[in-house]
Copies of this chain bind each other. A is one copy, B any other.
Amino acid sequence: MEYGIGVDLGGTSVKIGLFTAKGKLLEKWSITTNIENDGEKILPDIARSISYKLAEKGIDKKFVGGIGIGVPGAVNDGVVNKCINLGWGVVNVVKELEMLSGIKVYAENDANTAALGEYMAGSGRTYKSIVMVTLGTGIGSGIVIDGNILHGFSGAGGEMGHIIVNTCEEEKCNCGHNGCLEQYASATGIKRLAQKRIKEFSVDISDEEAQNLGAKEIFDMAKDGDEFALSVVGEACGYLGHALASVCAVVNPEAVILGGGVSNAGSFLLEKVEPRFGKELYHACAGTKICLATLGELAGIYGAFYLIEN
């Protein structure tokens, strides 16, 4: 192949990248995700957008080795079973997109795809095995070992957001359980913890301000030494460190990579995760690195490109 295409399919937009065979990103663009009528337009829109781009560039599709696509749901043999964000039920992504585009398609869960991106072209590029955790609205995670995604039997490999870290939790996670990591260390989880603690700390804040207090604001306040925010960040990062230590005892990766919006807190996040992680890490895993993702929003299209098999 001379070119490959990476597609990162999200609930609001679809990011698309055109790469050379060696993984140089030539161009990236995005289109809106049209979730009307159970998302029936999504794949046709993607195929059309790729077709236009290839025409614009004067590239014949016979020189395109494949389209990799990361999808927000579990993917098994190219088939997705429910993507709530897209309005999809059962969709055979590979078959449909191949028919629409006339190009070979490779599909994978989006968190796994992002992990592959960081592994191949981001902060994981020098490591043999990584666990990549995306701390966004939810918590996605992916595991790459010797270049292979740990896909899992039913496509649920690396779903560490649903490790139960607090058996006393009374509120329910979206998944229906109580006490999942996602309820504490995702952006939504951090916001939730903050709302709960506002009263406890008698924080002087209006209801409207309280509503607008997101993970970014809380991390900023914590960096400034605010006790209330430090307490929230401490709790979230404590649970994250605990879950990461468990994951390391099972997978023993060379490195753990933190990405997603929450990871914009940078080294401050690492400092807050480290104590509990270090305390609980099994000694044979000593030396496991924790680092920040470097590809940001591009991890998805990079990883999708690397799904394409030679």
Contacts and interface: CB of A to CB of B under 8 A. Distances in A.
Interface in A221-266: 242-243, 245-247, 249-254
Copy count, this protein chain: 2
Contacts of A279: 177
A160 B154 CA distance: 21
A249 B284 contact: no
Interface in A122-167: 128-129, 143, 145, 150-160, 162-164, 167
Given A128-B153, A129-B153, A150-B145, A163 B285 contact: no
A249 B157 CA distance: 6
A109 to B, nearest CB: 10
Interface in A251-310: 251-254, 279-280, 282-288
A175 interface: yes
Interface residues of chain A: helix, strand, loop or mixed (majority): loop
Given A164-B242, A175-B282, A288 B247 contact: no
A137 to B, nearest CB: 18
A249 B156 contact: yes
A285 B176 CA distance: 14
Interface residues of A, number: 43
A67 interface: no
Contacts of A250: 143, 157-160, 163, 246-247, 250-251
A74 interface: yes
A284 B251 contact: no
Given A128-B153, A249-B159, A251-B250, A175 B283 contact: yes
Contacts of A284: 74, 154-156, 159
